[in-house]
Amino acid sequence: MSINGFYATALLLFSVPVGAASIYTQDFEGAVGTEWSGSGSAESTGGLSGYGFGSQHWRNATTGSTTLTLSGLAAHSQVTLTFNLALWDSTDLGGDQFIVQADSNTLYDESRDFGNYYPSDNLGRGPGTLITPAFTAFGDPNFGYNSFYRDSARTVSFTFAHTASTLAITWQYPNSQGGFDESFGIDNVVISSDARPSTGVVPEPSTLALGAVGLGLLASRLRR
């Protein structure tokens, strides 16, 4: 490699951007602030506590929406939303609908490939990645609420363009039969953005280590 190549490598290592900064988290283990509105309440996660959920999550057993509203966000161009999603009980595949929106933009809207009954491979359907076992019976696995029906859960992440200083995230199961028949729950909600401090990018420790390796190789090359 040429001397110019080593300089380019060193500069690249020191210019790696910091990952998205978390601007809001909520695991529903304590008090829930006024930023949450609409339908639902903090309730037990039952057996899902063994699949990355805490002991509490926000469960919505109605057709109404659950909304998280944040304001005063620092300048940014991109936002990432992550959360755990519980599909409780008789969420019907090929009919029941689930919607996630950021302001007026739809992140997810599905009524065909969403639900617990009856996927041919016995795996629950929905956004993100399934984290619970395959279904083995009409009511198995069951993690809580209606013991007659089976349940599933997922980890979900959406990244989308966003520049406003306010953000409203909405979750809704508009044709839910509600109650202990079918419902959804969310947990471990994290909102992060690509906002940067005005003083510039500060490398993370791992980035600094990589930079040191690059400079060490550069110095070795120069000595030769």
Q: What are phi and psi of 77, to 5 degrees?
A: -130, -10
Closest CA to 140 of 113, 116, 111: 116
- The secondary structure of the chain in percent helix, strand, coil, rounded to multiples of 5, reads 15, 35, 45
Q: Are 29 and 156 in contact (CB under 8 A)?
A: no
pLDDT tens readout for residues 46-99: 999 999 999 999 999 999 999 999 999 999 999 999 999 999 999 999 999 999
What fold, for 19-195? Jelly Rolls (2.60.120)
**With the C-alpha atoms ordered 91, 192, 47, 141, is the resulting torsion angle positive or negative?**
positive
Mean pLDDT (whole number) for 18-31: 88
Mean confidence (pLDDT) of the chain? 85
Q: Are 91 and 182 in contact (CB under 8 A)?
A: yes
d(CA 183, CA 66): 12
Higher pLDDT, 202 or 24: 24
pLDDT tens readout for residues 147-168: 999 999 999 999 999 999 999 9
Residue 207 banded pLDDT, cuts 50, 70, 90: very low
Tokens of 88: 């409780």
Tokens of 176: 């839910």
d(CA 68, CA 187): 12
Tokens of 107: 């992140």
Q: Are 81 and 215 in contact (CB under 8 A)?
A: no
Please give the order of strands across the beta sheet that includes 167-172.
36-38, 65-70, 167-172, 98-102, 105-110
Question: Is pLDDT at 214 greater than 80 in this prediction?
Answer: no
- pTM recorded for the entire structure: 0.80
Percent of the chain with pLDDT over 70: 79
